[in-house]
Amino acid sequence: MSHLAFGSLVALGLGVGAVGTLVGAGGGFLLAPILLLVYPHDSPQTLTSISLAAVWVNSTSGSIAYARLRRIDVRSGLVFGAATLPGAVGGALAVGYVPRRAFDALMAAALGAVAVWIALPHARRRPPAQGTERVLVDSSGREWRYRVPVGRGALYSVGVGFASSFLGIGGGVFHVPILVAGLGFPTHIATATSHFVLAQMSAAGVATHFVQGSYRVGNGLRRSVALGVGVAVGAQVGAHWSSRVPAQVIERLLAVGLLLVAVRLALAAAGI
């Protein structure tokens, strides 16, 4: 299976966009490894640029949907988004120097580590309340009250920006667990705010790849457009589902999905 038709890419984007928005991870954690498996001869730079373009469309569409639900912590999201930008540019530049098999192994290790961390009992416990108080009232009238250590969150975001752009997975898969278990965000606010941060961060990565000419290689532009059409629609579906799915289910779905993809990539890196 070396190529996917335009319609198949749209369908893939639809599914990835719905699941990615539901868990607040932008879909890149699924799309990037799928592209690695479907296009085994393409370079990491080409595939991460395509994945990041889809993540940008997905996160932007998802942010619009979550904004209507009034679940985005805009003040925190702007600070965290700005902090990710230097790392996002650096990650997009660095990926061009990594061999394909080594990249597959790094991706498997990163996704597996995050999956295990989310599955641990401590990952669902909120840290002690500290930092700046936030009070949000969403479109259903539910009040969300919590505190945010903004400075620490910005520091975490620098590393998230690099890792997400380097791997082409958008960063939500790292950012949602950090927002929940590291900074004390309610899960539903974390998934919405993560999308808002992703929209800013992935835009920087896409711009860097565009300047480098990554989208002129391997039908990059065509693949990006097809996936973008699918994820734009899927993001609206995922945001709609998010209001009906309990927080614990979202976290478990994220962990299971990551672990399955990590195992498959580890086997590919080992030549199996």
**pLDDT tens for each residue of 233-254:** 887 888 777 767 776 776 677 7
| Percent of the residues in the chain that have a pLDDT greater than 90, as a whole number | 15
Strand partners, 209: none
Q: Which domain does 218 fall in, by range?
A: 6-269
Residue 38, in any domain of the structure: yes
Give pLDDT, residue 76.
94
Domain count, the chain: 1
Tell whether the model's pLDDT for residue 272 goes beyond 70: no
CA gap 78, 197 in Å, rounded: 7
Question: What 3-state DSSP class applies to 184?
Answer: coil
Tell whether the model's pLDDT for residue 2 goes beyond 50: no
Residue 1, in any domain of the structure: no
Give pLDDT, residue 3.
64
Query: pLDDT of 197-217, one tens digit each?
Result: 988 888 888 888 888 887 776
